[in-house]
Chain A
C-alpha cells in the first residue's frame, strides 16, 4: 500500500522536477539531479517488511514495531487465515502465529525457517455484566469465541469450556479481534479473548477472569521467517523480537 502511494507521488513529482530544471545550466542540472537521487535513495531502497500477525498480538505489535529501523506493513488475522495465505503463496517476510503447530508445519514444508517462541498467551473470559468466572458461564449467556478451527485462542476457549463442563451459547468470530468486538459492542454477553487485548483496551479488573492455565493447552506463540524475500531483514526482526528488551515489553503487554 505504502509503495503504491509512493509510486503515485513519483508520477506527480518527477515531471515537476523536470519542468523546474530545464531552464538551468547543464552543470547545475546535473548537480541538482545527483542531489535529488542521493537524498531520495533511502526512500526507494527499503522495501517494507511484510509481517503477518495473529490478531491477539495486534496491540502488542504496535509496541514491538516502535523503534524498529525499517518500515513494517502488518496484516492481522486468525493464525489459520494467515497460515492458509502463506501456503497459497502470499508474500510475507515474517509470520507471528498464535500457536506453534502452524509455524512448525510451514517449516516442515520448507516454506519457513527460524522458529522462535515470542510469547505465551493467556486466555481471559471477559463479561459485560455479572461476575466473570466458571459460574458465570450459564446456558443463557452468549459468549463470543474465535473460530476454534483457525484461531488458537478459540481452541483454548473450547478446551476450557469442556474442562469446566460449561455450555454457554457460542458465538463464533473470525478471530479474537472480532470476538472482542462482539462483546465490546454489547451484542454478546462476554467473550474469550487474550489478556493482552484486555490490557490494551484498559478493561477494568472486575470485568474479566484470567482462565487458569491448567484448563487449556499452553498457547505458545511462535514466529518464523517466511521464505519469500527479505530474509536478512526478517531474521533481524525475529532476533529483535526475542531480545530481552522486547520480551520484557511483550510480558508487560499481557504475555508470559
Chain B
C-alpha cells in the first residue's frame, strides 16, 4: 500500500474513532457527572474512583482486560456475538468501546467539577417555577455550562486521538479499521521509515496544538 494512502486511511480511522467516541461520551457523561456532583449517596466515591481509574491505570492494563472481555469466549464478546452476530475484538466497534473507557475521565471529570459550581439559587428558582428536574438539567444546567461541555468534548476527542497503549493491545492493526495514526507512527518507526514517521508525527503534533489553542481561545470569549 502506498505510504500516503496508509497515512490517509489511518487519519480517517483516527478521526472517525475520536468523533464517535466523543459524541457518545458527550451524551452519556453529563448525567453521570451531574450525579457525581450532586449526590450524597455512599456509592459516590466508588463510582468516582471507577470513572477516574483510566487516569492512573497503565493503558496496557485496560487493554489486557478489554481483550479478554471482548474475546468471543469472553463475557462481553460472547454477548455481542450472540445478539449482533459480529465479533468485538479487533474491530472498530471494539476500539470505540476501549476509547469510551479510557477517555471517560477526560470528559466526565471536567464536567463534574463545573457542575459543582452551579448556583443553587438558580436550581431552586427553577424548581419553584415548577420546572421538572430533567428539563431543568437540559435547559438550565447544560446551557449554563456550555463552555465546560466544549472543553470536556475537546479533551475527550484529543485524548482519543492520542491514545496508543490500549489500541496496541486490542486493535490488531487492521488497515482501514483499527490502524490509527499513533499505531501507524509506531509501525513506521519500527520499519525505520522516518519519512512517513515525520509526516504522521507532525500531523498529530500540529493537530493537538491547533485544537488546544482554539479551545483556550473559545473559553476566553465572553
Q: Inside 8 A of A87's CB, which chain B residues have their CB?
A: 192
Known: A172-B173, A173-B172. A186 touches B190 (CB 8 A): no
For window 156-207 of chain B, which residues contact chain A by CB distance below 8 Å?
168, 170, 172-174, 187, 189-192
**A185 interface hit (Cβ, 8 Å):** yes
Bound Cα distance A173, B67 (Å)? 13
Does B32 reach chain A (CB closer than 8 Å)?
A: no
- Whether the pair A185, B68 counts as a contact (CB closer than 8 A) is yes
Interface residues as binary, A138-154 with B (CB distance below 8 Å gives 1, 0 otherwise): 00001010010110000
Tell yes or no: B45 within 8 A of A by CB: no
Complex: how many Å from CA A83 to CA B71? Answer: 32
Residues of B within 8 A of A144 (CB): 172
B34 at the binding interface (Cβ < 8 Å): no
Closest residue of A by beta carbon distance from B77: A187
With A144-B172, A173-B172, A182-B172 as contacts: A149 and B72 at CB distance below 8 Å? no
Q: Assess the B172–A80 pair: CB atoms within 8 A.
A: no
User: How many B residues touch the partner, as a band?
Assistant: 20 to 34
Chain B residues with CB under 8 A of A173: 172-173
* Chain A residues numbered 63-84 whose CB sits less than 8 Å from any CB in chain B: 78, 80-81, 84
Given the known interface contacts A147-B173, A147-B190, the answer about A174 and B71 at a Cβ–Cβ threshold of 8 Å is no
CB neighbours (8 Å) of B192 from chain A are 84, 87
Q: B74: CB under 8 A from chain A?
A: yes
CB nearest to B172 among chain A residues: A171
Point out the residues of chain A lying under 8 angstroms from B72, CB to CB: 186-187
Contact between A142 and B90, CB atoms less than 8 A apart: yes
Min Cβ gap B12→A in Å is 18
A170 within 8 A of B: yes
Interface SS of A by simple majority: mixed
Nearest residue, chain A, Cβ from B78: A186
Residues on the A chain within 8 Å of B71, using CB:
185-187
- Interface bits A156-174 vs B (CB < 8 Å: 1, else 0): 0000000000000111111
Given A84-B189, A84-B192: A188 and B89 interface contact (C-beta under 8 Å):
yes
Inside 8 A of B74's CB, which chain A residues have their CB? 186-187
Q: A142-B90, A186-B71 are in contact. List 15 more A-B contacts (CB 8 A).
A: A80-B191, A147-B187, A149-B187, A149-B191, A150-B191, A171-B173, A185-B68, A186-B72, A187-B67, A187-B89, A187-B90, A187-B170, A188-B89, A188-B90, A188-B172
* Residues in chain B within 8 A of chain A (CB atoms): 67-68, 70-74, 77, 87, 89-90, 168, 170, 172-174, 187, 189-192
Listed A/B pairs (14) with beta-carbon separation below 8 Å: A81-B190, A84-B191, A84-B192, A142-B87, A142-B90, A144-B172, A150-B191, A170-B174, A171-B90, A174-B168, A182-B67, A185-B68, A187-B67, A187-B70
